[in-house]
A and B are shown apart, each in its own frame.
Chain A
Amino acid sequence: MTAMLWLIPAALFLGALGLLAFLWSTRAGQYDDLEGAAERILMDDDGPIVDEDED
C-alpha cells in the first residue's frame, strides 16, 4: 500500500504536466491556423516567388 503514496502523486504530476502543455499550446496559438500549416509544408520557399499567370 505504501507504493500508493508515491504512485498517486506521480500520476497526478504527469497528468498536470499534460494539462500545462495543453494550456500552453492553446495560449501560444498552436490551434489558430490548423489548415494553413498543413498547406505551408507544400510551399517551396527557396528562391523568389514569381507567378507569371497573374501578373
Chain B
Amino acid sequence: MAALEGDQAKWDPVRRSDHPATTGDAGYPAREEAGAHVRLTDAAQGLKSLDLAVEGARCAACIQKIEGALFKMDGVKQARLNLSTGRLAVRFFGADERAGDFIEALDALGYPARPYAAETVKDAQSAEEKRLLRALGVAGFAMMNVMLLSISVWAGDGEMDLATKTLMHWISGLIALPAVAYSGAPFFGSALKSLRARQVNMDVPISLAVLLACLLSIYETAMGHGEAYFDAAVMLLFFLLIGRWLDVRLRARAGQAARDLAALQARIAHRIDADGHVKAVPAADIRPGDRLLVQPGERFAVDGIIVSGQGPVDASLVTGETAPLDLKPGGEAWSGMVNLSRPLTLEATAASADSLLAEIARLVEAGEQSRSKYVRYADLAARAYVPAVFAMAGLTLAGWLVVGGSPHTAVMNAIAVLIITCPCAMALVAPAVQVVACGRLFQDGVLVKSGDALERLADADYALFDKTGTLTEGKPALVNADAVTPEDLALAAQLARGSRHPLSRAVARAAEQALGPGAVADDVREGSASFTGADLAADVAPAGDAALEAWLAVEGRAPVRFIFADRLREGAADAVAALRARGLPGEMLSGDRPAPVAEAAAALGLERFSAGLKPQDKIARIEALKAEGRKPLMVGDGINDAPALSAAYVSISMGSAADISRSAADLVIQGDRLDSLVRARDVARASRSRMMENFALANIYNAIAVPLAVFGLVDPLVAALAMSSSSIVVMLNALRLARA
C-alpha cells in the first residue's frame, strides 16, 4: 500500500533537474516553482532553506524516518519536521535542484511532499492566531489583577471607606482600559466592519457591552460614587477571546483548500519541436496543435489526440473507471490521465487552461461559492438576538422614565441590560462544541475542514456515493489466486514487479501476501491474451471482463489466466446500511461501466444507481436533489468527483483521493475506513444537539439575568458571577462530547 502511494506521488514528478529555464508566463507558477521555496539564507556559506509540506506523518517513527532519511543525504545540514502542521524545514548546501531529490526521497518513504509557499494564506491565518493568543494573554493578565482588586472591594463592602474604594477603582481602570483597547480590537474592528455594511453581527452587542461597561465605570469612578464594571469588561473579553481563538485555530488547521488545486496539474510537458528535438516546457505554454511526448509514468498535461504509440493509460481518477484504457493513434486523451507503460506522442487539442483538469477546477470553484451561502447556526442566532437585546434596553429606559425614575437611573439600568446581555456564552457555543467534536473525529481518523461542515453533515438527509475508490478499493485485486499454482504466481509476480500497470501491481501484491521471492524467469511472457498467444489456444473461452484479466505463458505449458476485480471495501455494505438507518438513504453515482456498477450496487443493497456519469452529470443529479429540497451528502475520491464534492450540501472524500477532491471536500477520511462515515455522522449529530443545549443554556442565563438588570438589581458582583458561570457551563457542556 505504502509502495503504491509512493509511486502515485511519483506520477506527478516535481523534478527540478529537468525543469526548464524559468519563464515569466503569467499562467505558470514560475516564481513559486523555482524562486520562492528555495531561498538563499546565507550567501557566504551557500546554505539554503526549503519548506516542504509533508503528508502522512503521525508519530515519532515518522519523524525519525523522515529526518533520518534527509540527514543521510549529502549536504543536508538540518531537517526538522513540525508534526502539528506537517511542515518540514530543510537547510542544505548545494544547487537549488537538490529540492527535487528531497521530494523524491520522501515520496519513496511513502510521505508525499510538496514545496510549501511560506507567504500564502495560511501564514496570514497563523498571524491572526498569534495575535488572538497575545490578546488572550493580555486579557487574562488584566482579568486576574482587576479581579484581585474587585474581590477586595466586594469583601470590604461596608467597611472600606470611599477614598480607598475609589483608589481601587482607578487602579482597576488603569489596568483594564489599555487591556480592553488591545484585546478588544478584534471585536471592535469586526463590529465596525459589519455596521459599515449595514448589518449586525454578534460583535456589535459585544463591543457595545464592553465599551459601555468601561465608559460607565469611568464616569462613576470620576463622580466618586457607585460601582465599576472594569472586571466584567475584561472578563467578557477573556472568555470571548477563548472562543474566537478556538475558531481561528480550527480554520487554520483546515486551511489549504484552493492552493492544492494547482498541485495536481502536470507542470512540465515535453514538446517535440519542428526539428525533432524534445524540449521540456511549462504546461501553460502548450498551444493546440503542439506535439507532445508523454513518457511512462508521466501525467498528461493537456487534452489531446494520440498520433503515435499505443499503450495503456490509467484514467481511474479522471473517469472513475478501474480498468486501464488502451490508447491507440487517433484516441482521445484527457489531462490528468497517467501513461502506464509505453511512450506516447500526443497532439494537443486544448491549451492547459482549457483542458479537463482546469475545467474541473473551475467547477469546484463555482461549487464552493454556492456553498458560502450557507448560514451558520451562530449567525442565525445573532440575527434574532441582536434586535431583541436592543429592544429590551430601549424598553427598560422607557419603562423607568414612565414609572418616574430619574433619567440617571433609567440610563444606568438600560446600560446594565446591554452589559448583562452581552452574548458571551452565545459566542462560545459554536466554537467550543466544534473544537471538541473535531478533536474527537481527528482521533478517529476524520479530518474536518471547517466547523460549519459538521452542522451541515448533521442536517444532511441523502447520501450519494462514488463507486471506484470510495465504496471499492479503486484498484484491481487478483480474485482467482486459488486457481493459480504458487510457482506461476511467483513467476508472474517477478515479471510484474517492474511495471506500474495496475494489474501487475495486483499480481505483485497477491504474491507478497502468499509467497516469498520466486524463481528465475526464463522465456516467459505475461500480458493480454493476444500478446501471450493464449487466444490461439483452442480450449480458452473469452470469459468475463477482458480488460481485467491477464495471462501468463511459459514455453511448453498451457497459459495461466489471472482474473482481477475491483473489490468492495471492507465494511462498505455495513456503512451504507448504517447510514440508511441514520436517515441517509443512499444512491450510487459512478463514471464506471454499467455492469460493474450494477453488481456493486446489488452487493451493497443500493436500489438507486447510475453508471457512466460525467462530472457534470453528477452535479446535475445533486442539483436535482437540492431542487427537491434534499440536502445531499456526497462521498467520493476521484478527480471526476471533485466538482460534485464541492456542489453537494456537504461532502466527504477518502484519504487516498486525488488532491483536488480532498481539497474540495468538507471532511477527509484517513485510512479509508468506511465506518468512519458513520462515526462522523454520529459525532455531527451529537454536536448539533450539544449546540442546541448550549443555546438553551445561554438563554436560561438571559432569562434570569435580564429581569434582574431591567429592575436595576444588577451590581458588578452579580454581573461578574452570572457572566463567568454561563460561559463556563457552556464550555463544560461542550466537553461532554469528548466522552460520549
A residues with a Cβ closer than 8 A to B are 1, 4, 8, 11-12, 15-16, 18-19, 22-23, 26, 31-36, 39-40, 42-43, 48-49, 51, 54
Contacts and interface: CB of A to CB of B under 8 A. Distances in A.
Contact of B85 (A11, A26, A33, A42): A33
A31 B145 CA distance: 25
A26 B131 CA distance: 10
B133 interface: yes
A49 B68 contact: yes
Contact of B83 (A8, A22, A36, A49): A36
Nearest to B136: A22
A12 B64 contact: no
B60 A32 contact: no
B81 A36 contact: yes
Nearest to A26: B133
A3 B293 CA distance: 86
B118 to A, nearest CB: 14
A48 B2 CA distance: 24
A51 B352 CA distance: 41
A54 to B, nearest CB: 6
17 contacts: A1-B164, A4-B164, A8-B149, A12-B175, A19-B137, A19-B138, A22-B141, A26-B133, A34-B84, A36-B81, A36-B83, A36-B84, A39-B59, A40-B60, A49-B64, A49-B67, A49-B68
Contacts of B133: 26, 31
B82 A32 contact: yes
Contacts of B395: none
Given A26-B130, A40-B63, A43-B63, A32 B141 contact: no
B137 A26 contact: yes
Contacts of B110: 54
B162 interface: no
A23 B136 CA distance: 10
Contacts of B164: 1, 4
A35 to B, nearest CB: 5
B383 interface: no
B141 A18 contact: yes
B137 A12 contact: no
A15 B176 CA distance: 13
A35 B84 contact: yes
B65 interface: yes
Interface string B73-117: 000000001111100000000000000000000000110000000
Contacts, number: 65
Contacts of A4: 164
B171 interface: yes
A23 B134 CA distance: 6
Contact of B68 (A11, A34, A51): A51
A26 B249 CA distance: 14
Interface of B: 2, 59-60, 63-65, 67-68, 71, 81-85, 109-110, 130, 133-134, 137-138, 140-141, 144-145, 148-149, 164, 171, 175
B83 A16 contact: no
B144 A54 contact: no
Contacts of B85: 32-33
Given A22-B137, A43-B63, 12 more contacts: A12-B145, A12-B175, A23-B134, A23-B137, A31-B133, A33-B83, A33-B85, A36-B81, A48-B68, A51-B68, A54-B109, A54-B110
Contact of A35 (B83, B140, B145, B148): B83
Closest 8 A/B residue pairs (Cβ): A49-B68, A36-B83, A39-B60, A19-B141, A42-B60, A33-B82, A22-B137, A35-B83
B141 A16 contact: yes
Nearest to A49: B68
A31 B130 CA distance: 10
Contact of A36 (B63, B140, B175): B63
A16 B175 CA distance: 11
B65 A39 contact: no
Contacts of A35: 83-84
A42 B141 CA distance: 35
Nearest to A44: B64
B65 A51 contact: yes
B121 to A, nearest CB: 18
Nearest to B133: A26
Nearest to A1: B164
B354 to A, nearest CB: 41
B109 to A, nearest CB: 6
A11 B67 CA distance: 46
A39 B63 CA distance: 8
Contacts of B64: 43, 49, 51
A26 B85 CA distance: 16
A22 B110 CA distance: 38
A24 B110 CA distance: 37
Contacts of B140: 19, 22
A26 B2 CA distance: 37
A48 B81 CA distance: 18
A30 to B, nearest CB: 11
Contacts of A1: 164
Nearest to B175: A12
Contacts of B130: 26
Nearest to B3: A54
Nearest to B152: A4
B137 A39 contact: no
A49 B69 CA distance: 8
Contacts of B71: 49
Nearest to A19: B141
A10 B17 CA distance: 63
B141 A15 contact: yes
A12 B83 CA distance: 37
Given A26-B134, A49-B68, A43 B109 contact: no
A41 to B, nearest CB: 8
A35 B326 CA distance: 47
A36 B130 CA distance: 19
Contacts of A11: 145, 148
Contacts of B137: 19, 22-23, 26
B56 to A, nearest CB: 13
A32 to B, nearest CB: 6
B116 to A, nearest CB: 14
A22 B138 CA distance: 9
Given A12-B175, A19-B137, A54-B110, A32 B84 contact: yes
A26 B134 CA distance: 8
A39 B83 contact: yes
Given A19-B138, A43-B60, A49-B64, A33 B84 contact: yes
